[in-house]
Structure 1
Amino acid sequence: MTFRHLLGLPPTQRYRVPPGMRVYAIADVHGRADLLRPLLGWIAQDNAKRGPIGQVHVVFLGDLIDRGPASAAVLEILARGGETPGASYLLRGNHEEMLLAILDGETDSASAWLAHGGAETLESYGIDPAPYFDDVEALPAALYAAMPGSHIAVLHAMLGQVRIGDYLFVHAGIRPGVPLDTQEGRDLRWIRKEFLNSRADHGVVVVHGHTIAPTVQFRHNRIGIDTGAYRTGRLTALGLEGEARWTLTSRLDAA
């Protein structure tokens, strides 16, 4: 038995992105287009500086919308595409889940959505949110009238998880002990304590957002990269290639 086992620590392991791949992950933009635009530029510069490679992937970990002032601009950037090197993957966060439910006519959680950043999203589309706090049933029609179809298509096309090599990318986390291919969507988008406190070996390193921390959280089984863009003015990207890991941060004074 090794000393690490005696301490109850997991055995050391090297986690890798497959050869010929470079990956960038961005979490919880939350309507901060002013931070996303420069960060995408720095990713392009960083990618060019590191030299040619077979494949480049950029993974957005969800919660692109709400709380910050420019959700419409963020969705427009992603709907247009072309601002990221290589292929982009968009994962669905809990905020996109709430908005999609409203677009589908399910307004049970509409009041919670409005109170937790949805009002700012409405304002970004030129909608006064005030009347809808008292009339949530009118929200779906108002949203469909204001949102371009390309933005709604982006929301519907979002994925639950993406695996690249030894890394699993999700919005919030996973349910420990549950096989990766049978994880519940709600856990992928909402889980906190059970995942964050787990020391289990998940068989992958889970890269996630959803839970704000002052700096990137590197743990043996997870990497949390939500640095609270909407309230701190810091939007962070994680870079991965082979066994290497690095970060890039777009920073402005907190809004």
Structure 2
Amino acid sequence: MLKLLKSLVSGGRTEPAAPPTLVPPGQRVYAVGDIHGRLDLFEQMIALIEADDAARNSECPAQAPAQTTVILLGDLIDRGPDSAGVIAAARAWMQRRRVRILAGNHEEMFLGAFERDETLRHFLRHGGRETLLSYPIDPDDYARMTLEELRAAMPGFVPQDDLVFLRSLEDQVRIGDYVFVHAGIRPGVPLDEQVPGDMRWIRGEFIADRSPRDFAVVHGHTIVDEPELSPLRLGIDTGAYASGRLTAVGLEGAERWLLVAQDDSVAASEA
């Protein structure tokens, strides 16, 4: 089920007054929160964004269509049932339109799991088992393997093309007055000096920061019941793998709106 919300949701926190946050004229941006292996919701979100983008272009037929960029905020994988399918769908979407994808902490763990047993152990404890089983490995074979045997076998069933794709993901995107990262930024550190580890893993220090700045940060990583949209920060990870709700925010000029893909079981429970 697709559900479209066009409203601003405040995180309930007081932040300093700021001038309007803007996307450059002629551009439109959609940022999608953490997908975590929910191919069903991701496919719905793709359809929702395509329809919304086309509808907004048709509202002003005399003008040239907006230059639209879609940004996936990272954590495409783990926890949900079809991480391999999400990767395939993201790669296919990139062939059809401008899609930029950020590396999340779960992509970092996945890549590191090929190199170190300890990283593999950590990866498996945080949803990596579901990722590996979304590839063509027999579940019984998986269950019998030791950690060392599993790491040795992984290159045989995870396509090299997927690993090349994951290694190519970005850490930070800036468009107009918006900065897009997976988790957040280190307070007090200039954007060009931010380190990937912070942008993929930071949480409390970033969420609590109220320091004024001339841009708003759009991020996932920290799960919220409802999106938090404020002058300084837009948090849109609504826990798709567990909640059944995948959220995106659309941005154009000073306007913000939400798109939500929602599965039938959640819709039925809310009815």
The one-letter code sitting in structure 2 at the alignment partner of 1:38 is Q
Q: Given the two structures, how large is their TM-score scaled by the length of structure 2?
A: 0.85
Q: Is the 8 A contact 1:27 1:209 kept in 2?
A: yes
Q: CA deviation at 1:27?
A: 1.4
- Out of 178, 181, 187, the residue aligned to residue 170 of structure 1 is 181
Q: Which residue of structure 2 aligns with residue 74 of structure 1?
A: 86
Query: 1:83, CA displacement in angstroms?
Result: 7.2
Instruction: Give the aligned partner of residue 195 of structure 1.
Output: 206
Q: CA 1:57–1:94 in structure 2 vs 1: closer, same or farther (change >3 Å)?
A: same
For this pair of structures, how many residues does the alignment match? 243
What amino acid does structure 2 have at the position aligned with 1:106? R
SS at match of 1:108: helix
TM-score (norm: length of structure 1): 0.90
- Residue identity opposite 2:235 in structure 1: G
Q: Which runs of 5 or more structure 2 residues have no equivalent in the other structure?
A: 1-13, 58-63, 267-271
CA distance in 2, matches of 1:137, 1:102: 11
1:92-103 alignment runs, 5 A limit: 92-103=103-114
Whole-angstrom CA distance in 2 between matches of 1:34 and 1:195 = 31
Question: Identity across aligned pairs (percent)?
Answer: 47
Alignment-derived partner of residue 130 in structure 1: 143
Work out which structure has the larger RCO, using CA pairs closer than 8 Å and 6 or more positions apart in sequence: 2
1:14-163 to structure 2, matched below 5 A, reads 14-51=20-57, 52-81=64-93, 86-103=97-114, 105-127=115-137, 128=139, 129-132=142-145, 135-163=146-174
- Match in the other structure for 1:5: none
- Check conservation: 1:102, 1:139, Cα contact below 8 A: no
Taking only aligned residues, the RMSD between alpha carbons, in angstroms, comes to 1.6
Deviation at 1:239, TM superposition (A): 0.3
Letter paired with 2:169: M
| C-alpha contact (below 8 Å) 1:22/1:53 kept by paired residues | no
Give the Å deviation of 1:10.
1.8
Alpha-carbon separation, structure 2, partners of 1:89 and 1:82: 8
TM-superposition CA deviations, 1:169-195 (whole Å, max 9, x none): 000000010001101111100000000
Which segments of 5 or more consecutive residues in structure 1 lack a partner in the other structure?
1-7
Q: Any conservation in 2 of the 1:29–1:65 contact (CA below 8 Å)?
A: yes
Following superposition, the deviation at residue 102 of structure 1 comes to 1.6
Structure-2 separation of matches of 1:228 and 1:164: 25
- Cα deviation digits, residues 204-240 of structure 1 (max 9, x gap): 1000000110111012211000000000000011100
Residue 231 and residue 241 in structure 1: after superposition, are their counterparts in 2 closer, same or farther (change >3 A)? same
